[in-house]
Structure 1
C-alpha cells in the first residue's frame, strides 16, 4: 500500500537517502527480539504517514521479521538540517520499500516482478522531489535487475499514473444475506471442517500457491499473510488475534482444497454480521462449499467479504442472486511496464496475430515502437526497424492496464485514451489483446 500527496517540483538534493534491510539487535538469552533503532524509526515514520498509532516494540519486531522473510529493501529519506524543534533527524521524512514476487500473467506463467509499497512523505517535505527520486531510483534498480514489470497498490488513484502505472485489477466488496441459511443450487461436495487457525501454518501458503498458479492477475503473497491466517497478526495491530476463526474444505478423498478465515463482528452489528478475512480456494467446489459453510452459522444474518472477483460466480451459486449486493468496487493492482519486449512475451493472448504498437513513456523505460507477432499462443516482440505508422498508440500506463486483460482495448479507444490507425487495426488489437474473464488478485501489499 502507498500513500502520499507529493507533487514534486524541485530536487531533493539536501536530503539523505538510505537503503537498508530491517535489522535486529543481538539476542540476549531468552529475551524477546528487538529491532535496531534505524528500523524502529522507519516503522514509526510509516505509521505516522498512514495516520496510525506507533507500533509497540514487540509489534515492530514481529513485522520486521516478516520483512526479512520477504527480502524487503527499505528506503528512508532523512533531513539532517531540519530546524528545531523538528522531530529527531533519525526519523525519516519519507519511506519506501520494495521486494519481489511473481505475477501470474496468464496461462500459468509466473513472472518475477518488482513490488513497491509503504510509500510516505511527511507533509512538511512535499514538493521537494522526494517521491520522484525514490520512485525513479527504485524503477532503475528493477530495470537493472532485469525485472520487466513493477507493481503497487495505491491508496490514492491520481498519483502514480505520472510514473507510468496503470490500474490492472479490481475487487468487489460484497455483503451476502444469509438469514435463514444460504441455499446453494449445486449439491454439496466434500466437507468443511472447523480448524484452529494455528494449524494453517503450512496449509495456507500451499493452498494459496495453487490458487496463484491458476488465476491470471494473482500476485505472490508476503509472509504477513501466513501470520494473519494463523492468528498471529490482527487486522489493526501486529499482535495475536484471538477473534479469528478458520475452516478448511476437504474433497471426497479428504484432500484440503481451500481454507477460510473469518471473525464475528459483534452483537452490536445490525444485521448480525460475520466478516471474511481470507478465502482461498484451489477449486470451484471448494469455493462453493466455503460459502455454504459461512451461511450455516446460527444467528448470523449477513456475511461481508472485501475480495470478490468482478465476475465472481457467487450470485449464480445461490437460488436467489439478490442476496448478494456489491457495495464497492476498487482498483487493487497497478502495473508499470519496464521492458516491453520481455513483458509482452510473458503475457497470455486471445488469439494469434500481429500488431505494431507505439508506446510513449515520459520516463523512457518503455518508449518505442514494437512489432508483436503471436503464433501458437507464443509472442515474439521486437523493436521496430523503421519509423512507420503504428496500429495502436498508447501511453505506458495504459499498457499496464491492458496487460492482464482487465480493461478492453475498445473501452480505452472509446474513451479517447488510445489511438488506432484504422477500424481494422482496432479490431485486430481487440482480438489479440483482450482476454476472457477478469484478472483476479486477492492480495494487498
Structure 2
C-alpha cells in the first residue's frame, strides 16, 4: 500500500444513475490524465465518447488519491496519479500472443518521487503475469522511464515526407484500383484490413476502439470530436477485394510546402501500400505528402524512380515490450534452423529471473526453466528480452550495445544464426 494518506482505487467505467452522464469519478480521472498530456478538460459529449470507447476496450482504470489535500481547494474525486490497462494481441513473428497494454500513466508534479509509479507498475505487471499474459507493452512519451520496469524498445517510427511536385514515377506498373470513399464507409472495412495487416507484420499491436472512430471521422486528430476535413480512399486488387485504405487531410493553405497529412494508412501487402501512395502523389494542389508511423526501413524509396523525393523527420522510439513469461513468449517466436542454448535473465522485479534452456528444431523452440546456476550461453537483464523476442536488432548488435552477454560454449555467431530475423518489427499505432 501507499504511505498514508495516499490510497489507490479502481475507477469504474460508470454513469450517473439519474442523468446517465459519465460519473464524476470517471470524469475526474479522465481529466487528470488529459491534464498530464496538456489537453483541455473534456466536454460532456467528449466524456461520453471516451467512456463508450473505454467500455468497448474493457479498460481497467486506476487512480491514486491524496486525502490530505484541502477539500475546499481540490475536488476529492481528482486523483494525483492515473494508470490504465487493457488487453490486445502482439504479433511476435510466428503468430499473435495476448498482450497486457499499459496507457495513460500520469503523476502530478506535486506527488513525484513518492514511489507512486513504481508501486502502480510493479503491482500491475505482477497481476498481468498471474493472469497468464506472456508480455506487456506500452508506447512511452519519455524513453528513460520504463527500462527500470523491464520494458525494452522494440520498434522505431518516423515521419516520411514525399515530394509530389511534378510527376512521381514508380518502377512498378499500376495494379488494382483506388476508390475515394466517405470516411464513414470504412466502418466495416478498417477493422478487417487492419486485422489482416496485424496478422502479417511482426511488431504490430492490436488496436483500440479509438482507431475505428478516427478512421471514420467520428473523432478528429485532437480528440473525440467529428473531423470534417478527413478524406478517405480504399485500394482494391484486380479481383475487386479491398486490401488497404488511407485517411488523410489537407494541412491548410498557410502550410509551406502545401501538405497532405496521412492520418492512417493500412495495407495488407506491399502492392496495396504502394498504390495508395501513388494515389496520394496524384492529388492536385499538393506539394508534399507526410506520413507518420513509417518504419525505420520503409521500402517506399525503393519503389520510386527518384528516391531523393523522400525525406524523413521525427525518428523516435515506438513500442516497448516487457516479457512476463519467458517460456510462453519465446516458444511463440520464430527461429532459424535447429540448435540449443541457455539464457540467463536478471530481473530486479523477479518476474522472469532465472535460467532457461532453448531447444530449437526446424525454426520452433521448446523453452524450459533450468534450476541452479549452470553456465549460460546468453545473459541479459529483463529490458533486453523485448528486443530479443521481437528481433528488433541482431544478437551481435545487442552484444555490442552491452545489453547482452555471450558466454559458455555457443559463440555469438552461432546464436545469431538461430535468433536473428530479417527486417525489423513495426507497429503503426500507439495507445
**What secondary structure sits across from 2:411 in the alignment?**
helix
Change (3 A) 1:423 1:287: farther
Aligned length: 431
Inter-partner Cα distance in structure 2 for 1:321 and 1:351: 36
Q: So what's the TM-score if we normalise by structure 2?
A: 0.97
Instruction: Tell me the TM-score normalised to structure 1 length.
Output: 0.94
| Per-residue deviation, 1:151 | 0.4
Provide the residue aligned with 1:343 in structure 2. Answer: 329
Q: Which residue of 2 aligns with 1:288?
A: 274
Q: CA deviation at 1:402?
A: 1.6
Q: Which residue in 1 is equivalent to 2:343?
A: 357
Alignment match of 2:16 (pick from 17, 20, 25) = 25
Q: CA deviation at 1:27?
A: 7.6
How far off its partner does 1:203 sit?
A: 0.4
CA displacement at 1:85 relative to structure 2: 5.5
Structure 2 unpaired stretches of 5+ = none
Counterpart of 1:230 in structure 2 is: 216
CA contact (8 A) 2:375 2:408 kept: no
Aligned to 1:310: 296
8 Å Cα contact 2:178/2:235 also seen in 1: yes
Structure 2 match to 1:76: 63
Question: In the TM superposition, what is the alpha-carbon distance from 1:84 to its structure 2 partner?
Answer: 5.9
Aligned to 1:435: 421
Aligned to 2:6: 15
Name the SS of the counterpart of 1:400 in structure 2. helix
Q: Does the Cα contact within 8 Å between 2:11 and 2:25 map onto a contact in 1?
A: no
SS, match of residue 382 in structure 1: strand
1:396 to 379, 382, 393: 382
**Alignment correspondent of 1:418:** 404
> Cα distance 1:411–1:423, how it changes in 2: closer, same or farther (>3 A)?
farther
What value does the CA root-mean-square deviation take over the aligned residues? 1.5
CA contact (8 A) 1:78 1:93 kept: yes
CA contact (8 A) 2:157 2:315 kept: yes
Give CA deviations for 1:347-395 in whole Å, capped at 9, x if unaligned.
1213321111010000000000110111122211111144211111100
Deviates more, 1:402-411 or 1:361-370: 402-411
CA contact under 8 A between 1:181 and 1:297: conserved in structure 2?
Answer: no
Tell me whether 1:88 sits opposite 2:75 in the alignment: yes
Q: Deviations over 1:92-147 (max 9, x none)?
A: 1000000000101112x110110000000000011111101110111121011011
2:352 maps to what in 1? Answer: 366
Contact 2:156 2:426 in 1 (8 A): yes
Q: Which residue matches 1:407?
A: 393
- 1:248 counterpart residue number: 234
Once residues 377 and 13 of structure 1 are traced to their aligned partners in structure 2, the CA distance between those partners, rounded to angstroms, is 52
1:106 match: secondary structure:
coil
Which residue in 2 is equivalent to 1:116? 102
Unaligned runs of 5+ in 1: 1-9
Whether contact under 8 Å (1:355, 1:428) holds in the other structure is: no
Q: CA deviation at 1:403?
A: 1.3
